[in-house]
Amino acid sequence: MSSMDRPEIEIRGLHKSFGDNEVLRGIDLDIGRGEVVCVIGPSGSGKSTLLRCVNLLEEPTAGQVFVGGTEVTDLDVDIDAVRRRIGMVFQQFNLFPHVTVTENLTLPQRRVLRRDKAEAFEVARRNLERVGLADKADAYPSQLSGGQQQRVAIARALSMGPEVMLFDEPTSALDPELVGEVLAVMRQLAAEGMTMMVVTHEMSFAREVADRVVFMDGGVIVEEGPAERVVGDPQQVRTRNFLMRILDPAAAEQPGDTTSERPAKEL
Amino acid sequence: MTSRLTRRQRRRISQGVQYAVFVAVLVLIGLGADWDRLQNQFAQKDLASELFPDIITIALRNTVVYTVSGFVFGLVLGLVIALMRLSSVAPYRWVASVYIEIFRGLPALLIFIFVGVAVPLAFPGTEIPGGTYGKVALGLGLVAAAYMAETIRAGIQAVPKGQMEAARSLGFSHARAMVSVVIPQAFRIVIPPLTNELVLLFKDSSLVLFLGVTLQERELTKFGRDLASQTANSTPILVAGLCYLLVTVPLSIVVRRLEARADKAR
């Protein structure tokens, strides 16, 4: 089978347990080339674990994951080679604090891809420009705001030329006024046709940018579909309750009111 | 009836008492000690000037060379043992733990005697490269490695887990991520404690005198002791002591600066 007609990311019967705690209880999910999929759900629903299973930062207990037709979960696969094709952005940015912004981008290119100095610097410059931080090339990560650090982290992942980008709550550690600049970069990336899997609580982003939204709870996919349907007109009670809490945190839920039939508030 | 003191009065009394005790102790020592005899035995100016330049060009220089070679050897070995302690291969962890417990639990002097006697016995015909210098590097390094291994391990574990994850997600292998990302950050964390270790080694280098050294290989303590017995006067010991302080005090100040800077960077 040629990799052309396969989805970019295929997840088959994925289970993951930490000791007795079963975090993922059988996940099946396909993400097509160029598709943007947002994964939403309450904390502890397993959404971050699912994302981390895609590039094997967590090893699944059972099931298979394919990226670009290569089985990530195959014990004989060169995992470092597969990971080069999968960019990942973390909640805590995880920039390398001991080197400059530019070196954050060139170090992986040179050590992992063996690019020569000139090429690595050129790629770094281009990607910093792409996220609007060309003027911070010589700064150290600690001198940047959270939003700037996260944009550098995106540029670092892009410098490796990935086919897929994974985002693990990329704006959750940011002050509210810095969220927008990061989402803007991600929106632009989506418009350029990048395949993206985004774990997020930003419902407006999910609604605007995502081709598909997946709602997870208790380690299973409860509901998935086009963003306007899952976010705008959820079919499942659990989805509706979750969206209500997210969209209107001040409206505390009454005890025993978890099956409330109130529709999700309009966005 | 009850005389109530104000806070200011209390503070004055408390401070006054502390100063009084301080002065009393100084006066007791000053009046009680026989300064003339002490000066005769420890501070003969003409004797002291005869020590130069050899005490610097031979003794201090050797002390520094012994210390640095022991430190470098200990650092390399300590890094290896720290990585073994963190290995996923259980026998490596056991060996590293046993090494650390043994070499931290033994007096450095015993290790020196061991290096001087047991190694030539165990490997007849093989000389430790570098003669005395090699033996000293080995003796000092074996002990220092045990301490440094624990320091480096703590430093590596202090680097946030996200750093390794970020590197792995970019396609670094575990080993390359360690070398390029984790260990450089760990070393920044452990520079102050490692400098402290350097100060300790500097003093431990005096144990060389148990290996038997030639005149040209003498370091500060041996040098001072030899000259003290030649001249039947302890002035060389005092001068040797000052030479140690000449190096250890500035090093300690550097450590304190580094620690202050590390605190600020957090």
**Confidence class for position A265, pLDDT limits 50, 70, 90:** very low
Question: What average pLDDT does this structure show over A95-107?
Answer: 96
pLDDT band at A161 (very low <50, low <70, confident <90, very high): very high
Q: How much of chain A, in percent, has pLDDT values that exceed 90? A: 88
Q: What is the pLDDT of residue B1?
A: 52
Closest CA in chain A for residue B164: A94
Distance CA A45, CA B217 (A): 69
Contact residues on chain B for A88, CB-CB shorter than 8 A: 166, 169
CB contact under 8 A, A84 and B170: yes
Section A113-136 average pLDDT = 96
Give contacts of B160 with chain A, Cβ < 8 Å. 92, 94
Q: Which three-class secondary structure state does DSSP give residue B204?
A: helix
What region, left, alpha or beta, does residue A58 occupy, with left being phi > 0 and alpha being psi -120 to 50 degrees?
beta
Q: Is the minimum CB–CB distance between B168 and chain A shorter than 8 Å?
A: yes
How far, in Å, CA of A147 to CA of A237, rounded? 35
User: Cβ–Cβ of B171/A156 closer than 8 Å?
Assistant: no
Read off the pLDDT of residues A80-91 as tens digits, 9 standing for 90 and up.
Answer: 999 999 999 999
- A81, A90, A112 member nearest B166 (Cβ): A90
Which residues from B are below 8 Å from A113, CB to CB? 171
Q: Is the pLDDT of residue B201 over 70?
A: yes
User: Helices (H), strands (E): how many in chain A?
Assistant: 9, 10
Give how far Cα B263 sits from Cα of A95, A97, A100, B155, B256, Å.
Answer: 20, 15, 21, 15, 11
Interface A-B: count of C-beta contacts within 8 A: 60
**What ipTM, to 2 d.p.?**
0.89
Cα–Cα distance, B81 to A113 (Å, whole number):
30
Across the interface, whether the CB atoms of B181 and A92 are under 8 A apart is answered no
| Structure confidence at residue B18 (pLDDT) | 95
Whether the Cβ atoms of residue A61 and residue A20 lie closer than 8 Å to each other? no
**With an 8 Å Cβ cutoff, are B170 and A156 in contact?**
yes
Please state, in angstroms and rounded to a whole number, the distance separating the CA atoms of residues A133 and A151.
Answer: 8
Catalogue all structural domains in chain B, each as residue range(s) with its CATH number.
45-265 (1.10.3720.10)
The structure's pTM equals: 0.82
Mean pLDDT value of segment A161-176: 96
- Region of poorest pLDDT, from A60-69, A144-153, B39-48, B52-61: B39-48
